Structure 1
């Protein structure tokens, strides 16, 4: 497929080698407006906004990925396959599952369990384990700890379901040490594996669905800012390392 695609009006060269991908396109705009210099909007198709600018002198693109694996699956696939993107860092919210997880924690998703059938397309003779890029994960942990962020590292659950017929079914993942539940990481990790590219999911814990605790709306942006800054610093390191190779 040539670019632009049916979902992305950007042209080759409009997208940086490293892309930050929140689910909400308005959060992409917030990141661009708050942190990037020389910003230009490179996509508005379906209002899935994408912005390219510079952070600490390094090109970076921020683009919405939507909700759920089918949505991020489309956008991340096109970025990897058609726009020559080397790394995608998902920045999103999550519901804490493990009893050790607290509100405002920043989760580095090493792996992504899933109840989705996304991997069926690969026709594998078994169960594929979607995992993050080790280099991205290790650097994110180092950056986060240097910032004194409340970092936790481990498995997340990428679920196809937001409204569950049995809300307590999420609790069953506790016994396997799953830290938090979200809806996109597994598809992103599978697309990256197939394309031989890099991916990482960073999450801020915005609620604890098993206890009912949640961050007030006015506090979420402050907590998410820490995660965004980790991702931006990581994007700079990743791009500079690739340029030096």
Structure 2
């Protein structure tokens, strides 16, 4: 039983979907999984296990930001022997090539976080997705954008103009978790992928509501389930 998840051994499936919002975790469990049961309510970060097409799968809230996600990913990999974690979250589009509600599948994650700089003593580690998960997700969602995202440490960035430089180097969208997830998966020898729905557009100003972000991003969940259980 881990510190922050608190599930008993065997209660969490080998494949876990990881939304930031615990209410989205509940919605995913109630909408997509059969016989879903709640295994954790610790700190309100809900976790559920059920089945999808007869195969066990779990969904666990992770909170916002890399420090919070790192807690849950570390415990899932280290304490519950989870093999694959797929982040299903929201992101902000940074280019007009990407539209509101589009899917972005992150092949790699740039970041301004110091977590990896500390861990690698100043070397620039490049956190990337598991190739089999990435390929399976891209096959399941040919309409999705596949490419780099930026995992920011601050939601309200002090230097938003720096994102222009990232866009010039191929970054499609910004979120707050994938870089840490990819790094931790590599450290534990496990698989990880981030699939995000564009919830707001930094360029055009378009945005979705909080209820829409919680309960209407079903396409990315379908893609995540298909990729996670087929690869």
| Residues matched between the structures, number | 231
Classify 1:36/1:180 alpha carbon distance in 2 versus 1 (closer, same or farther; 3 Å). Answer: same
Q: Superposition pairs for residues 83-232 of structure 1, below 5 Å? A: 83-124=80-121, 126-145=123-142, 150-216=143-209, 220=213, 224-232=217-225
How far did residue 166 of structure 1 move? 3.6
Unaligned runs of 5+ in 1: 239-245
Classify 1:80/1:64 alpha carbon distance in 2 versus 1 (closer, same or farther; 3 Å). Answer: same
How far did residue 218 of structure 1 move? 6.1
TM-score computed with the length of structure 2 as normaliser: 0.95
Residue 60 (1) aligns with residue 39 (2): no
How far did residue 169 of structure 1 move? 3.1
Residue 34 (1) aligns with residue 27 (2): no
State the distance in 2 between where 1:217 and 1:160 align.
21
Residues 133 and 228, structure 2, Cα contact 8 Å, conserved in 1? no
State the distance in 2 between where 1:124 and 1:206 align.
35
How far did residue 99 of structure 1 move? 2.9
How far did residue 162 of structure 1 move? 0.7
Classify 1:123/1:17 alpha carbon distance in 2 versus 1 (closer, same or farther; 3 Å). Answer: same
How far did residue 233 of structure 1 move? 1.6
Residues 153 and 176, structure 2, Cα contact 8 Å, conserved in 1? yes
Residues 112 and 185, structure 1, Cα contact 8 Å, conserved in 2? yes
TM-score computed with the length of structure 1 as normaliser: 0.90
